[in-house]
A and B are shown apart, each in its own frame.
Chain A
Amino acid sequence: MSSNIGIIISREVRERVVKKSFIITTLLTPLIMVLLWAAPVLIMEFSTPSDKNMAVIDESGIIFPELVKNADDMSYLTLSHTDMPLDSALHDDRYDAVLFINSDVVTNPQNVMLYTHESGSMEVEGLLNRVISKTVEDKRLEKYNIENISEILDEISVNTSIRTLRITDDGSEKDVSSMTSFMLGLGMTFILYMFLLIYGQMVMTSIIEEKNNRVLELVVSSVKPLQLMLGKIIGVGLVAVIQIVLWCALMCLVSAFLMPIIMPAGMTEEIALMNSGSLDAATSAFDPDLLKAVALFSSVGYLLKLFMYLTLFLIGGFLFYAAIFAAIGSSVDNVQDASQLQTFAIMPILVALVFGLSVGNDPNTTLALWLSMIPFTSPMVMLSRIPFDIPSWQIWVSLIILYASFVGMTWIAAKIYRVGIFMYGKKPNIKDLIRWARYK
């Protein structure tokens, strides 16, 4: 008889995994995630805006030389000085845009106009703003006649990046960036949330479907209801795990092979420098936080550890919530009737998500600790805390509580399920479910 659970599980898994849609989503989702993440980099690298010819009418005579100097690296932008009146420049087909700088720009910097046929490019506008402000600033400073003004300015300019070093129990220091941990935690919490909801509801709808097309009656004549319910939960759970593992493998592959290729030149060297602790943030060409995040994703070992916790909490959380979803699914005739009862499963997940997203701001409060122990909220809250290197006993205690509650919840759910699958025609409420759970 116990082999029956195995038969049920294998049917559940095969029905879902050997399916085009599963294979496609499994392969495409990480690709889309990587693409989304890499898109800005790629766009920066490869996009070359169309050539622009800009006429500059510089009545002050001080801005144009500075502009030309600064626009060197924008190959697509051709600046041509002209003395034409504004009206005729605007109607001249040679120019895509006309910049008009009034002679009193130093005293009245608002008196600069950019006329363009298309909407202005951010980069060009940024350049103009920067150059004009800088030039005007310089001109104004000059009036004060301060000696060595440029040296003084160089000396006081700063570029800050805080390196957060966490003192661990064994006295060593670890480089952690709160920002990166926060983002990681958010990511994992969200993944978990999606999985609990998607796969939890999959258990529910699949039970409703069995009940609805009456195949259930045929199945329970060979299998105990508890075996059927457990088989379904474990089967769907295995599908979730297969998906996660495939993703993990894909991510590892991507980070090991693809990352060096798609990363902008110079980033790899700087990550190496940063890992050895000798990177000078001030001279770095990249945002240090971005560097740290990229470095984190390039480290396969760290990723594996995170995936282990993610998988453990995912399984525990899934089993716990799937039992609730199964009880609900067994008690109703169709998906519409389930909506009301479903609140009892979805609300805690949503609450957990909200807390999971917010504890990242301060992962070590008492509230955060408690929420990461209560099984309803623990998977998500704990996952969002894990990247902050919380003590590992907390993680394990939380896991033990979670798995113990899964057993308890399954026991209750099985009692409801046993009665519910034979109840047709009546839309039960939570009171009915509690009464069924109390039946001998």
Chain B
Amino acid sequence: MPLGYVYVYPTHSRDAMSRIFYIFIRHGVDSTIARFTMSGCGRPLRAERARCGSPFFVLFPSLSCTEKYEFNQICMDIIKAENITKRFTNHVALDNVSVNIPEGSIYGLLGPNGAGKTTLIRIINHITAPDQGQVLFDRHPLTAEDVVNIGYLPEERGLYKKMKVGEQALFFAKLKGLKTREATEQLRMWFERFGILDWWNRKVEELSKGMAQKVQFIVTVLHRPKLLIFDEPFSGFDPINAELLKNEILRLRDEGATVIFSTHNMESVEALCDNFTLINRSHNILSGNVAEIRREMGRNHYRLAFQGVPATLLERLGDRVVNHTMGKPELTHNGPIFKAEFTLKEDVAMHDFISLANDTVDIVTFDRALPSMNEIFIRTVEQSNATPPAQQ
């Protein structure tokens, strides 16, 4: 299986191309090969999400449709967790779980409560050791020294209440190996950016929850770790600060950090994550690229808005439809518009569906219905729960 793809599209921006070269070269790919690949397709222009693990969208004006190039060598996994098993007295927290986290991406770690996410995070963080399996960090077995390259924001987090904010942030920075002066400079910059510089000499117990969360976030990212682990980072933030935080996370990613992102908020997974793993009852039940999996799971699933008689359309489609939902009609001066979703049989092509629908009703809009991460989460977990654990 390839580690990533380069998608090639026609488009119009120049800067991004040099960044692609940069990434190719940084990962040790022969720069001439990279250049050849690029220049062979004409004038390369724009790259979106030029990161490992998620597709490169490289857009070339000379091509009329997408071409997909696979690449194997370019992408490095910053974390390779192989066959991790962790047992506690009464239960198995992780059963043979493997996770690969590509460098420079945002990786969602999803799962119901008690699935084993926190245990996996603690293992990656070198807080607990797995009973079986091993973790490779940046291509070598994880050791205690790697912790200075990891920043971890736990879900359950707190600060020393009696300590002053600045003093406390310095304490954590020094634990991550920063020198006092360097840490103070960095902290001042971050405090200013988050608008909490005035609070430097206040005690933590005087802080509001949101402000304490900001301090914790700063403490997590201050030492510029290669790997950032955020466990429910947005909880306790108002929408404005959540947005601020989201942009900071994206900026850190753009500066080269890899982010592991554990959350129950599926919308933020769609918005942020490139890849994800879904853990349920100690097992890894689904992993992959967010966009690909949504496409995959949305196959033969379409949304149609039309004017006409719904019953006639359904009759015409016949047994090609596995499942459908018909919304209430929206009344316009041209008559009612119906909005429906259809799940079709595997072997029905989109083309056939459109032509059949077109014959029967007036199509207003038509598109693929990509399932939300929320739907994927619920569907996959319920499916997995329906299977007895022994068969998994």
Interface residues, chain A, with chain B CB atoms under 8 Å away: 1, 4, 7-8, 11, 15, 210, 213-215, 217-225, 422, 435
Contact = CB atoms under 8 A, between A and B. Distances in A.
B331 interface: no
Nearest to B175: A222
Interface string B137-170: 0000000110110101110111111110000000
Interface string B166-193: 0000011011100000000000000000
B127 interface: yes
Closest A-B pairs by Cβ, 9 of them: A214-B158, A213-B158, A221-B152, A222-B175, A217-B154, A215-B158, A214-B156, A7-B174, A222-B176
Contacts of B163: 11, 15
B258 interface: no
B125 interface: yes
B171 A7 contact: yes
Contacts of A435: 89
B98 interface: no
Nearest to B122: A422
Contacts of B157: 214-215, 217-218
Given A7-B174, A15-B163, A214-B154, 20 more contacts: A1-B145, A8-B175, A11-B163, A11-B171, A15-B162, A213-B161, A214-B156, A214-B157, A215-B158, A215-B160, A217-B154, A217-B156, A217-B157, A218-B153, A218-B159, A220-B127, A221-B127, A221-B152, A222-B147, A422-B128
A174 to B, nearest CB: 50
B219 interface: yes
A224 B126 CA distance: 9
9 contacts: A7-B171, A8-B175, A213-B159, A218-B153, A218-B159, A220-B127, A221-B147, A221-B154, A222-B148
B235 to A, nearest CB: 13
A210 B161 CA distance: 10
B209 to A, nearest CB: 12
B216 interface: yes
Contacts, number: 58
A223 B128 CA distance: 12
A440 B280 CA distance: 26
Interface in B73-126: 89, 122, 125
A11 B160 CA distance: 11
A11 B157 CA distance: 19
For B127, B128, B153, B162, the residue with the greatest tally of chain A CB atoms inside 10 Å of its CB is: B127
Q: How large is the interface on B (under 10, 10 to 19, 20 to 34, 35 or more residues)?
A: 20 to 34
Contacts of B125: 221
A221 B128 CA distance: 10
Nearest to B89: A435
A130 B255 CA distance: 97
Contacts of A213: 158-161
A218 B229 CA distance: 12
Given A215-B157, A435-B89, A224 B162 contact: no
A176 to B, nearest CB: 48
Interface of B: 89, 122, 125, 127-128, 144-145, 147-148, 150, 152-154, 156-163, 171-172, 174-176, 216, 219
Contacts of B161: 213
A210 B128 CA distance: 19
Nearest to A436: B89
Contact of A224 (B89, B144, B159, B216): B144
A236 B154 CA distance: 27
B144 A1 contact: yes
A220 B219 CA distance: 13
A219 B127 CA distance: 10
Contact of A4 (B150, B153, B175, B216): B175
A426 to B, nearest CB: 11
A220 B144 CA distance: 11
A223 B125 CA distance: 11
B175 to A, nearest CB: 4
A218 B216 contact: yes
Nearest to A4: B175
Contacts of B89: 435
Contacts of A210: 160
Contacts of A11: 163, 171
B127 A218 contact: no
A22 to B, nearest CB: 13
Contact of B172 (A15, A218, A225, A422): A218
A222 B154 contact: no
Nearest to B163: A15
Contacts of A225: 127
For A210, A218, A225, the residue with the greatest tally of chain B CB atoms inside 10 Å of its CB is: A218
A4 B219 CA distance: 16
Contacts of B159: 213, 215, 218
Contacts of B160: 15, 210, 213, 215
B170 to A, nearest CB: 10
Contacts of B175: 4, 7-8, 219, 222-223
A329 B89 CA distance: 21
For A1, A8, A210, the residue with the greatest tally of chain B CB atoms inside 10 Å of its CB is: A1
Contacts of B127: 220-221, 225
Contacts of A222: 147-148, 172, 175-176
Given A7-B171, A7-B175, A221 B150 contact: yes
A15 B161 CA distance: 11
A213 B176 CA distance: 21
Contacts of A221: 125, 127, 147, 150, 152, 154
A214 B153 CA distance: 11
A421 to B, nearest CB: 10
A221 B160 CA distance: 15
A11 B144 CA distance: 22
Contacts of A215: 157-160
A340 to B, nearest CB: 21
Contacts of A223: 175
B229 to A, nearest CB: 8
A11 B216 CA distance: 18
B120 to A, nearest CB: 14
Contacts of B174: 7
A89 to B, nearest CB: 69
Nearest to A432: B89
A221 B127 CA distance: 6
B158 A218 contact: yes
B147 to A, nearest CB: 6
A208 to B, nearest CB: 13
B88 to A, nearest CB: 9
Nearest to B219: A218
Nearest to B119: A422
For A7, A11, A222, the residue with the greatest tally of chain B CB atoms inside 10 Å of its CB is: A222
Nearest to B216: A218
Contacts of B152: 218, 221
B173 to A, nearest CB: 10
Contacts of B150: 221
Contacts of B145: 1
Contacts of A219: 172, 175
Contacts of B158: 213-215, 217-218
For A15, A210, A217, A223, the residue with the greatest tally of chain B CB atoms inside 10 Å of its CB is: A217
